[in-house]
Chain A
Amino acid sequence: AQKVTQAQTEISVVEKEDVTLDCVYETRDTTYYLFWYKQPPSGELVFLIRRNSFDEQNEISGRYSWNFQKSTSSFNFTITASQVVDSAVYFCALSETLNNNAGNMLTFGGGTRLMVKP
């Protein structure tokens, strides 16, 4: 069975600090996708990134960067120069194919609550 572990349940930083959110996954699939979502206080999950299992290049988008390490089954997320607006719960997720092979099901980690203080 697939599993996603986000060991950090809560992180608190001061604005402008860099912060890394850890994500470790388990899967028997050779082809899979990894995702990060942000859940601000409003509750809606906002899609941040998708990464496939064949692409281990790190990705940077503004202050966000992602480090995919297949050898350690990790997909960590770093926020550089954090801001108060980054305060949210962040979820890492792993996809597997639905039984009828027509779509995908996401297995979510437990989430990491990030609090950025001014």
Chain B
Amino acid sequence: SQTIHQWPATLVQPVGSPLSLECTVEGTSNPNLYWYRQAAGRGLQLLFYSVGIGQISSEVPQNLSASRPQDRQFILSSKKLLLSDSGFYLCAWSLGQGYNEQFFGPGTRLTVL
């Protein structure tokens, strides 16, 4: 069966510090991968998606970036965090074709102080 991992689970970072969140998927090959952000009390905003190694598409311009160095690894990064980057970050995967459901990881709660 497929599983998706995210770490860290929680993170408190000062403004201006770098960020690296990691997501890995097990039990499937060539998945589509997604990064979402959920601000407190609000819905989900798609940040990035990837349909293959090294292929990243950005949905929202911001100071975040994403990379996919391996088939089942998806990394969310920032060189300098802003206060507005605080939120709950969710990674998800789906099969590569069709209108397939996305399966979500446990999330990382980021607080920027």
Contacts and interface: CB of A to CB of B under 8 A. Distances in A.
Given A44-B107, A104-B99, A105-B49, A99 B57 contact: yes
A33 B51 CA distance: 19
B44 A91 contact: yes
Interface residues of B, number: 28
A103 B97 contact: yes
Contacts of B107: 43-44
Given A102-B32, A105-B46, A35 B101 contact: yes
A35 B57 CA distance: 23
A100 interface: yes
Interface in A66-118: 91, 95, 97-100, 102-106, 108-111
Given A32-B99, A98-B51, A103-B51, A108 B44 contact: yes
Interface string A38-72: 00001111110010100000000000000000000
B102 A106 contact: yes
A44 to B, nearest CB: 5
A108 B43 contact: yes
B100 A104 contact: yes
A100 B51 contact: yes
Given A43-B109, A50-B100, 13 more contacts: A31-B99, A33-B101, A37-B104, A43-B88, A43-B90, A44-B107, A52-B99, A95-B99, A98-B49, A103-B97, A105-B34, A105-B59, A111-B42
20 contacts: A32-B99, A33-B101, A37-B104, A43-B107, A43-B109, A44-B107, A45-B90, A46-B104, A47-B101, A47-B103, A50-B101, A98-B51, A103-B49, A103-B51, A103-B96, A103-B100, A104-B100, A105-B46, A110-B42, A111-B42
Interface of B: 32, 34, 42-44, 46, 49, 51, 57, 59, 88, 90, 92, 94-107, 109
Interface of A: 31-33, 35, 37, 42-47, 50, 52, 91, 95, 97-100, 102-106, 108-111
